[in-house]
Structure 1
Amino acid sequence: MCDGSGATMATKGAPKADDDEGVAAARLGNDVVRVPKAAEIVAARLRRQIITGELKFGEHLGPENELLTLYGLSRPTLREAFRILETESLITIVRGANGGVVVNRPRVELASRYYGLLLALSGTPATEVYQAMAMVEPPAVRLLASTDPRRAAETLMRRIDDERRSLDDPPAYARASTAFHETLIELTGNRALLLFAQMLREVIERTIAGAIEESSTPTLHARRRGVRAHEELVSLIGQGRSDEAEEYWGRHLAAAGNALFKNREPPMVLDFFARPPD
């Protein structure tokens, strides 16, 4: 293993690197193969330990001097590894005498922000994001109604109870309604689909929040109508009526989308970046 002036960590059979400009590379036949820098290798090792749970969320990695000895690195190389992980929000570097490096749990909001950036760069309107979200939920509803309808209905009814309790509190109702939609996807058991749906909803909600005036908050009547729609959906799911549940939910989401963007210019995802992250 070499220090920050070098570019590679000693590995069995690793080609010798040329790192004159800070980018390690070696020649393999007629091809130039990039050799990871020491900081990248250490960052990859720590990243894996975080993902596998070997390093727990909230855990301190220890004093810098101990880490230098553990990894056999120079101080600049270790700090470069930390910067890599910090940009990925996997660690937080706490400054000061009692500071150190703390392991973070990655948040959906961070992935959503980068996803939103890509959408903004392509000039995507919020209507397209909503349409994508509306394409995800109806098939999920069909799956719930055709696999374990009773369990799904019981869980979703608890979310509806939360909505009823928050009818007089618009922000609380919005959170309860979001939880209902997320639970629809979560109950499918597909974690990849859940993450995708969460990113879509985060982008659409923050885009709309940044572009629609406060007076557009749904009225109490509209909130009650939303609860009734959720109750009707859960009834169809609980009865195992998968075709009807999917069709009903598709119509509901289409109508909700039309009402959301009615009589206003649809905001662009670019507006998502008008508000700082939470």
Structure 2
Amino acid sequence: MSEPTVQFRRLAEQIADHLRRRILLGELADGSILPTEDELLREFPVSKPSLREAMRILEAEGLLRVRRGKLGGAVVRRPNAANVAYTIGLVLGSQEVSLSDVGGALRQMEPACAALCAERVDRKRAVVPALRQLHAEAVDAADDLERAISASRRYHEALVAYCGNQTMIMLAGALETLWSAHEQGWSTQVSDHSIVPVDERLAVLEEHRQVIDAIDAGDARLAHDLAAAHLINAQHYPGSAGTVDPTMVRQRDH
């Protein structure tokens, strides 16, 4: 490799490092537009190819989304479970991993999150009210399959989001996002909503309520066991026999 090429890569990586740090620290807000190329070149006195390579590095990492056209620009995307879900989905999809494999991982991780929710000393204030609100919304939507599935998935995602362990929130949250994207994508394509009878939907929601009650009581073991039993019963829909498709996450994200 020639010396100029090495220098080009090094400069691009240095600029990417600087901008990445600003994104992670929140100095560049999520959803904000990165300064224009001319503005960045005034801040970083490098060649246009070096700057553009830095942008490509950050775009490949999912930290920027480049828009074309009149409303173009590089949109900042701070890391979150959806970003991680897309990256994991790419890896799993390339290996033709089945959705049932994702479900198996969730059957291990989500009950652990339920137990963590029950162990939180502030659960009655920071966890239970939010879960009960989501449960009420799901019950209200039970007669509409697409709305019911959307509401049910929000409950599962919240069970992870409120567990209090940041690593689990990111990892289990990414898997929840993957599963939700596929299940909700399937629900939008189903014309016969009787495929999942209303009484079956309500039975699923009753199991949700029991998990929430166990969390409210601070019974971590019961919350874990109820969540595990629920997933064994509920983690089935016709589309779950397929393989992971990362584009489903992007479609849901937009």
Q: TM-score range by the shorter chain?
A: 0.7 to 0.9
Match of 1:40 in 2: 13
Moved more, 238-247 or 158-167: 238-247
Q: TM-score, normalised by structure 1?
A: 0.75
Q: 1:190 to 1:72 in 2, by over 3 A?
A: same
User: Residue type matched to 1:155 in 2?
Assistant: A
Counterpart position of 1:74: 47
Mark the CA change 1:157 to 1:91 in structure 2 (over 3 Å): closer, same or farther: same
Deviates more, 1:180-189 or 1:88-97: 88-97
Which of 245-254 and 102-111 deviates more?
Answer: 102-111
CA distance 1:155–1:275, shift in 2 (3 Å): closer
CA distance in 1, matches of 2:68, 2:226: 54
Preserved contact between residue 123 and residue 268 of structure 1 (Cα < 8 Å): yes
Equivalent residue number for residue 174 of structure 1: 149
Q: Which amino acid aligns with 1:46?
A: L
Contact 1:90 1:105 in 2 (8 A): yes
Q: 1:190 is matched with which residue? A: 165
| Structure number, greater radius of gyration | 1
With 100-109 and 156-165 compared, the bigger mean Cα shift is at 100-109
Q: CA deviation digits over 1:27-67, x for unaligned, max 9?
A: xxxxxxxx951111111101111111112234343343232
Q: Where in structure 2 are there 5+ consecutive unaligned residues?
A: none
Residue 116 (str. 1) matches residue 94 (str. 2): no
Q: How does 1:76-225 map to 2 (within 5 A)?
A: 76-95=49-68, 99-106=72-79, 108-148=81-121, 149-151=123-125, 152-207=127-182, 214=190, 215=192, 218-225=196-203
Between the aligned partners of 1:123 and 1:41, the Cα distance in structure 2 is: 36
2:205 is matched with which residue?
227
Read off the aligned partner of 1:171 and give its amino acid letter.
E
Q: Structure 1 residues 77, 245: closer, same or farther in 2, change over 3 A? A: closer
CA distance in 2, matches of 1:219, 1:81: 52
Letter of the structure 2 residue corresponding to residue 176 of structure 1: A
Instruction: Name the stretch that deviates more: 98-107 or 179-188.
Output: 98-107
CA contact (8 A) 2:153 2:180 kept: no
SS in 2 for 1:57: coil
Structure possessing the higher relative contact order (Cα contacts under 8 Å, 6 or more residues apart): 2
Counterpart CA distance in 1 for 2:88 and 2:182 is: 13
Q: How many residue pairs align between the two structures?
A: 246
- Contact between 1:210 and 1:274, CA under 8 Å: does it hold in 2? no
Q: In 2, Cα distance between the equivalents of 1:96 and 1:211? A: 32
Give percent identity, aligned residues only.
28
1:19 corresponds to which letter in structure 2? Answer: S
Measured after TM superposition, the shift of residue 251 of structure 1 is 1.4
Note the C-alpha offset of 1:77: 1.5
> Contact between 1:136 and 1:197, CA under 8 Å: does it hold in 2?
yes
Specify whether residues 104 and 252 from structure 1 end up closer, same or farther in structure 2 by C-alpha distance, changes over 3 A only.
closer
| Contact 1:182/1:194 (<8 A) preserved | no
In structure 1, C-alpha distance between the alignment counterparts of 2:76 and 2:247, rounded to whole Å = 29
Q: Tell me by how many angstroms 1:105 deviates.
A: 3.8
Root-mean-square deviation (CA), in Å?
A: 3.0
Distance 1:187 1:249 in 2: 15
Task: State the distance in 2 between where 1:173 and 1:238 align.
Answer: 23
Q: In structure 2, what residue type is equivalent to 1:182? A: E
Question: Mean alpha-carbon deviation: is it higher for 172-181 or for 82-91?
Answer: 82-91
Q: Extract unaligned runs of 5+ from structure 1.
A: 1-17, 25-34
Matched-pair contact (CA < 8 Å) for 1:211–1:267: no
Q: Secondary structure at the match of 2:5?
A: coil
Q: Conserved in 1, the CA contact under 8 Å of 2:34 and 2:76?
A: yes
TM-score by length of 2: 0.81
The one-letter code sitting in structure 1 at the alignment partner of 2:223 is A
Q: What's the offset of the Cα at 1:86? A: 2.3
